[in-house]
Amino acid sequence: MKFFSTLRKDIRVVFERDPAAKSVWEVVLCYPGLHAIWAHRLSHALYKRGWVLLPRLISEAARFLTGIEIHPGATIGEGLFIDHGTGIVIGETAELGRNVTLYQGVTLGGTGKETGKRHPTIGDNVVVASGAKVLGSFTVGSHAKIGAGAVVLKPVPAYATVVGVPGRVVVMHGQRVHNTEDMRRIMEAHLVEPDDQMSEIEDELDVDLDHATLPDPDEEMHACMMKQIQALEKKVNALEQQLRQKEDK
């Protein structure tokens, strides 16, 4: 029966991707990620049939029990593995491919500026590490890795590793990326047509990889305070002078 084979596959996925998993009963009873996925299957099936309140109630109950919030509208491919899970949020129009791995604290959300499709599309075999935020209706290419704590706001090419805030590509196909030229070379070597998303990625890369000239808010604040101190010193000196002149008279 498909239902049982799907359950078996869900459990197998945990053993494949979590070395800490020891027994089937432990996985079935102690993996909130698994419980959240099972609850989402039910809520999504009802959502697709046009139900509104019951799927939301199921998703809310699952959030209460697991700490993982998956909107019933989110489309999730087989082989999803959610490790730990606390604090994960997956938005209504998010789409996840096959064999995606998500760690605790991940948000697959919107920026608040878009309507309609406003959450990301995640390709096959993507890993989104703990605390990463992927915000917007763009695509994260298959086999990409999103580093812990990254905030990703632009499309991510396949086989890329993205880290930092805002997210920038640092590795592609296992090779270090320092600029758009590196990226183009690697894409060409792997016979990937640099598509029209490349221009957006280029904009981001050209800015973000140039760490040396990024504005330093601490330095700016320091310079601003120095200016104010100098202005105050001038005022105090002028007042002292006026006081002395009055005393002399």
Task: Report in angstroms the alpha-carbon separations of 203 from 166, 199, 200, 210.
Answer: 12, 6, 5, 12
Question: What is residue 60's three-state secondary structure?
Answer: helix
Selected from 75, 125, 130, 142, the binder of ligand COA by CB under 6 A is: 130
Residue window 174-213: x/- pattern of binding to ligand COA, with contact defined by CB under 6 A: ----------------------------------------
2-8: Cβ within 8 A, 24+ apart: 6/78
Helix residue ranges per DSSP H, 92-216: 180-189, 198-208
The verdict on 129 binding ligand COA (CB under 6 A) reads: yes
The verdict on 164 binding ligand COA (CB under 6 A) reads: yes
The verdict on 148 binding ligand COA (CB under 6 A) reads: yes
Dig out the tokens for 105 from the structure.
């604290």
- Nearest to ligand COA of 18, 92 (CB atom): 18
Q: What minimum distance in Å lies between the beta carbon of 140 and ligand COA?
A: 13
Helices (H) and strands (E) in the chain, counts: 7, 16
Question: Which residues does residue 127 pair with via DSSP β-bridges, in sequence order?
Answer: 101, 145
The verdict on 57 binding ligand COA (CB under 6 A) reads: no
The residues of the shown chain that bind ligand COA, judged by CB under 6 A, are 84, 103, 127, 129-130, 145, 147-149, 161, 163-164, 170-171
